[in-house]
Chain A
Amino acid sequence: MIEYTTYEHDVLVIGAGGAGLRAAIEASAAGVSVGLICKSLLGKAHTVMAEGGMAAAMGNVDDRDNWKVHFSDTMRGGQYVNNWRMAELHAKEAPERVRELEAWGAVFDRTKDGKILQRNFGGHRYPRLAHVGDRTGLELIRTLQDHGIHQGIDVHMEVTVISLLKDGDRVVGVFAYEREHGRFRVFKAKAVILATGGVGRAYKITSNSWEGTGDGHALAYHAGAELIDMEFIQFHPTGMVWPPSVRGILVTEGVRGEGGILKNSEGKRFMFDDIPDNYKAQTASDPEEGWRYTQGDKSANRPPELLTRDHVARCINREVKAGRGSPHGGVYLDIAWIKEKLPNASEHIKKKLPSMYHQFMQLANLDITTTPMEVGPTTHYIMGGIRVDADTQASTLPGLYAAGECASGINGANRLGGNSLSDLIVFGKRAGEYAAQFAKENGHGSIDAAQIESEAKRALEPFDREGGENPFVIQNNLQDVMQKLVGIVRLEDEMKEALDGLAKLNERVSRSSVTGNIDFNPGWHTALDLRNLLTVSEAITRSAIERKESRGGQFREDYPDKDPAFAKFNVAVREVDGLMQISHEPIPEMPAELKAVIEEMG
């Protein structure tokens, strides 16, 4: 008999990033009992790392902005395979959600007339990102955390969920262990919300923390829910490349927003060479115009450095492959050059980009106010995830909801910077609201003791084996496979090789073992995370093979062009009899009003 403690909540939220916290606050405000589970301590989730800002068409800086422009920017950025209803709701509701943060104590940077300041970001037509220097994620998570702790939410910190419990089709709870002593816990819930974030740890070079192992994606998948768009991974163009230990750590797009430019080893500003047709009309025609844009000139178009991330990342990749890279395999990002334009440039940079200044000074011994940075693409975000209903965030399983990065739809093939933080609060709120409603309308389901028994047994297996491989080594190998074979530039043969590689890794995981006891044992935790990483890696790879075209986050060297036939559906995966099944989910026709909006915005 396995020992465990049982907890009961009306709504159970898994994940305490922006999405999970916002959902928990909403559900508890609706009057149901709420539990909140997270792998780390409260306030440490990935959201804390977000830098640049959150996108909301408040029009504080440029009054030409409104939800229609934001909506059409999001759709264009996503290459029109987004869930248009989500993009619409997001654009309409983000301003209200941001203002609400202010009412809860957030302190955003201000405009001259005392309103919330907004900054430029790639793919957004007008200055749209509410921000606090370059630590916006910290402001968001702390505001929600400090508001949430007074709401009577039961927080279970350093607890990891390892499976969803089901009663028939319906999700009725979760099975978890607490990290401190490895004890098992069962949580019964009338409704469960997944808000577990991303999958960046499937890749070697990533901006994501250890938590980004795709747990929510994998939990939902193994419970029978559908995932869509898993081929669409965002490689952020600017991660640190040197020294090796910081490879992948993010350099915010805000650097380019403040006037930073990209150059190759020949000193050439290469982004002007390759501007996609559908962005030509909105892009600066020369460096001077680009500079004026970053300084708030409303008549100027944006510099090509601020084109969408997928495009900029590929251009950098091309420069490096063509032998025009920096010494450590990146290109140069130069903000120091603005001293030609501004008298007190050095102070200005430190004020606008304090944590970037800090990060390079401390980790790379480099002063960004005098010296260009070396940067290269880093795995950053997954557009794909759990398929949800746009209005309610309900997954394809009753009782299961999803919000934030682990849910899918709003971003289509590519996410615009700043659209994640706003996504978290818009859809976190909706998930909380509808999950609470579901919990009011339904009683608790019944928990299957046999399922608990078998999950616990599986979780403890690595302790029973002796002399097996160290899980950290396997995780490293997995990251190599995905980085090399399913990265920025993809080929069918390589991806098939990746599938073989993943199958072998799966074998190795089943023979891995852990040493030491069960108390706070990172080796064991990693062994359990590996299953999730393997599941999402397989989903990414199979979906990428299925989409035989290039679009947004997916670039296929063997199919380098966009194919209109692939604009009509999302690639979906589902577990059927233990195997991954691929299908095409047709994208519903956009209503006439929204089509008109897109046409109007050009």
Chain B
Amino acid sequence: MVDYRTEVSEGMVVLDAVHQIQAESAPDLACRWNCKAGKCGSCSAEINGKPKLMCMTRLDTIDVTKPVTIEPMRAFPPIKDLISDISWNYEVKKRIKKFKPRPPDAADGTWRMQQSDIDRVQEFRKCIECYLCQDVCHVLRDHVKHEEFIGPRFLVYSAALEMHPLDTEDRVDELKDEFGIGYCNITKCCTKVCPEHITITDNAIIPLKERVVDEHYDPLKKLVKLFRRK
């Protein structure tokens, strides 16, 4: 780890400190950022060991009498300074079957949906793909199950598709087999770090787990499913 010193002024966030260091002493210090307003999910890091967005973490909420540590997300291979290689996430997403809507409801090719029917999906679609939840999940971080488990972010993504009122695709088999939903033992660490306050575990993962159970262990549904497949 390298030590840098910089002056802290009112209202400053961790990302400001990094920028100030770039301008003052280390222009080659690498970090990712875009919006500086918690909207793009680029600036994820571990600040004093806690997964956070650098642009939304005010220094006056941290004890600055001691050195503040800023590290890249550790669940992914490091590239340089605050940057890690998160390309795995992009690969995972491609494996999840895309949205497949039912035929339009109206003659002009549009659909009708009630706001109350989409509130849940909109919660999931708030995701800014910061991957802080992936970073904190022990299945990926400690047990390195990147091959078998897609992680909380993509369970949220699957849930957004599965619970989309217009979607007709079925992703339950993959969730169980290829995507490893069974690895999640509901520790809720992901929910705690989500900067968008998505209730990842309760609202996305648990209902998906229930669907897996319903479809795979309920003999009648399994049968219906086999027929439908024909």
Contacts and interface: CB of A to CB of B under 8 A. Distances in A.
B191 interface: no
B181 interface: no
Interface string A504-524: 000000000011110111111
Interface in B1-39: 9-13, 16, 22-23, 26-39
B28 A245 contact: no
B34 A472 contact: no
Interface stretch (A67-75, A101-109, A559-567): A101-109
Given A363-B11, A521-B28, A107 B93 contact: no
A277 B20 CA distance: 47
Contacts of A242: 11
B71 to A, nearest CB: 16
Interface in A135-166: 135, 137-139, 142, 146-147, 149-150, 157
A243 interface: yes
A308 B56 CA distance: 31
Contacts of B68: none
Interface stretch (B78-86, B139-147, B202-210, B221-229): B78-86
Interface string B124-136: 0110110000000
Nearest to A519: B80
Most central of A110, A470, A522 by chain B CB within 10 Å: A522
Contacts of A244: 9-11
B177 to A, nearest CB: 21
Nearest to A358: B38
B201 interface: no
Interface string B108-135: 0111111100100110011011000000
Interface residues of A, number: 66
A471 B112 CA distance: 53
A30 interface: no
Given A41-B32, A105-B164, A135-B126, A243 B12 contact: yes
Interface stretch (B94-102, B182-190, B212-220): B94-102
Given A113-B112, A150-B98, A476-B23, A243 B37 contact: no
Nearest to A46: B34
25 contacts: A40-B42, A48-B34, A48-B39, A49-B39, A105-B98, A105-B99, A105-B161, A107-B118, A139-B125, A142-B125, A146-B98, A180-B79, A210-B33, A211-B34, A242-B11, A243-B11, A244-B9, A250-B37, A359-B38, A363-B13, A363-B56, A471-B27, A514-B27, A520-B79, A520-B80
| A-B CB proximity, top 5 nearest | A243-B11, A523-B27, A516-B28, A114-B112, A105-B99
Interface of A: 40-46, 48-49, 99, 102-105, 107, 109-110, 113-116, 132-133, 135, 137-139, 142, 146-147, 149-150, 157, 180, 209-211, 242-246, 249-250, 355, 358-359, 362-364, 470-473, 476, 514-517, 519-524, 526
